[in-house]
Structure 1
Amino acid sequence: MFNYHESTALVTGASKGIGEVFAEHLAARGMNLVLVARSLDALESLARRLSAKYGIQCTALNADLADPESANWIAAELERRGIQVDLLVNNAGLGLSGNFLSHELQQEQGSIQVNIQALVALSYLLGKGMKSRGKGGIINLASNASFQPLPAMATYAATKAFVLHFSEALSYELAGDGVRVMAVCPGPTATNFFAGTATSMSVKNMDTSESVVQKTLDAFDQGKTVAYPTRISVRLGTLLPRFLPRSLVTKVAGMTTKNMGLH
């Protein structure tokens, strides 16, 4: 079992949705927290609430992970404050819906920066300390989109495939160093992720942030390398690319996102 009590977790994208629920659950387990997001007011409010409720130390760091220097700034700020991170939760993610060429190039590159570059940088900068101490954990949020090309969310799905493969490889590399690495592949979740889209998908057909986080931490405690905190139908869908031609998988995925109203 991972030793949560009086350890410190850093959670990115912590001001709302899955990230906020991660913060709540980890605080309930006795962890001190470093909360990272762009919304400083929301972060500080959450930090005050969790500190008062659970008697933990909670630090809010205002950072935009779309900035290529954000990870270095976070690491420097942690060192300046004397904070040692024992568990890194790379939860922050950015997804665009609609055809690739319908977006500005800067938007697509921003998605890659948040979903890949910042995640890799934080895993490296904080992972080195964990390895040297012989203990620690990294939880990286991938997606059920990691398993196939996804028209209308082309860049998002590609970045999440990277997160999955990167996490599995890193888990293998650090297996003997006391550092546990796990990728998480949730399905559609009832957060603000689809806000601003014309999706026809009902909230009742989505998972809740609460169930995603609880199942994720259960899987982490069980030592799993990949967690699937979603319903069986979604999990089965991730298996199809193993058996069907990729052209057919892409076609089916494109029809699915079209039916969801994401084109």
Structure 2
Amino acid sequence: MAIKTALITGASSGIGQAFAEELATSCTNLILVARSEDKLYRLAKQLKEKTSITVEVIIQDLTEPQAGQKVYDLVQDRGLTVDCLINNAGFGDYGPFAQRELSKQLEMIQLNVTVLVELTHLFLQQMQQQGEGSIINVASIAGFQSLPYLSTYAATKAFVLSFTEALWAENQEKGINCLALCPGPTESNFFEVADFPQSFESKSNSGLTSAQTVVKDALKALENNQSNVVTGGVANNLIVNSSRFFPREFLLKAVEKQFRA
């Protein structure tokens, strides 16, 4: 199914920007949402210069209460119809949970979970009325395994994975595809925003998957009507299936040692 108009949250960098650039090549009109005004308008200008698509920009801090409703209302006010929703915005926070700022944990839940549910609920109803549409919710391989020192982040991604797979099953006969995208470490500013120690960040940078590869894998999985896709090769697929072969306590202890600063 050709995507006519896609709304992408967190579109100013990383995977969100890669989605915008890839979809623009297939003549998909775009609605780009982020709080980084300069980056968003710069990207919109570049995409419009290279293609004949229309690009709408919505500047919105999605960590604010009812941010999803505000975005939805702006889309309706502009007379736009979204047939592909890509909930990409999100962030992590590294460190022992009790020593991290509570406000940042709650902002993470708002962005990674609450606004994702809000936008999905609003646009899914419209898609069901249209009898077609697609939703990509960006989870993570962290959604398959609890992560010490990234406890809230991993928990939010477990929610996104479970939530999206349930929607996939509910909407099979309604003409709507729902995909949980589960990347591993990807070229982005994730480690910087999550406040990883520099030594840890440098070590992790050696095995990063490009955002462009993640996006291509996601769009292929969406076309194949998969409920989830794990990107990043064989290693990441082994990681997400490790709990099938080892006791959870064993894995948690191993992961704790790996992620300890």
What TM-score, normalized to structure 2?
Answer: 0.96
Q: Quick one: which of 210, 217, 226 aligns to 2:212? A: 210
In the alignment, is residue 28 of structure 1 matched against residue 30 of structure 2?
A: no
Q: CA deviation at 1:204?
A: 2.7
Query: What amino acid sits opposite 2:249 in the alignment?
Result: S
Q: CA deviation at 1:243?
A: 2.3
CA contact (8 A) 2:185 2:204 kept: no
Q: List structure 1 runs of 4+ shifted beyond 4 angstroms.
A: none
Q: CA deviation at 1:14?
A: 0.2
Q: Quick one: which of 147, 171, 175 aligns to 2:172? A: 175
- Count of residue correspondences: 256
In the alignment, is residue 67 of structure 1 matched against residue 69 of structure 2?
A: no
Q: Deviations over 1:160-206 (max 9, x none)?
A: 00000000000101111111000011101121100142124242311
Query: What amino acid sits opposite 2:230 in the alignment?
Result: Y
Query: What amino acid sits opposite 2:115 in the alignment?
Result: A
Aligned alpha-carbon RMSD (Å)? 1.0
**Unaligned runs of at least 5 residues, structure 2:** none
Aligned to 2:232: 230
Query: What amino acid sits opposite 2:36 in the alignment?
Result: S
**Unaligned runs of at least 5 residues, structure 1:** none
Tell me, in whole angstroms, the C-alpha distance in 2 between the residues paired with 1:256 and 1:164. Answer: 23
Q: CA deviation at 1:32?
A: 0.4
Q: Deviations over 1:124-181 (max 9, x none)?
A: 0011100110000000000010111100000000000000000000010111111100
Aligned to 1:105: 102
Q: CA deviation at 1:98?
A: 0.6
Secondary structure at the aligned position of 2:98 is classed as helix
Q: Deviations over 1:17-56 (max 9, x none)?
A: 1100000011111110000001011111111111121110
Q: CA deviation at 1:12?
A: 0.4
Tell me, in whole angstroms, the C-alpha distance in 2 between the residues paired with 1:201 and 1:232. Answer: 19
CA contact (8 A) 2:5 2:84 kept: yes
Aligned to 2:186: 189
CA contact (8 A) 2:68 2:118 kept: yes
CA contact (8 A) 2:15 2:88 kept: yes
In the alignment, is residue 257 of structure 1 matched against residue 259 of structure 2?
A: yes
Q: CA deviation at 1:76?
A: 0.6
Query: What amino acid sits opposite 2:245 in the alignment?
Result: F
Tell me, in whole angstroms, the C-alpha distance in 2 between the residues paired with 1:190 and 1:160. Answer: 18
CA contact (8 A) 2:32 2:57 kept: yes
In the alignment, is residue 12 of structure 1 matched against residue 9 of structure 2?
A: yes
Query: What amino acid sits opposite 1:197 in the alignment?
Result: F
Tell me, in whole angstroms, the C-alpha distance in 2 between the residues paired with 1:257 and 1:18. Answer: 24
Q: CA deviation at 1:59?
A: 0.7
Tell me, in whole angstroms, the C-alpha distance in 2 between the residues paired with 1:190 and 1:79. Answer: 33
Query: What amino acid sits opposite 2:139 in the alignment?
Result: A
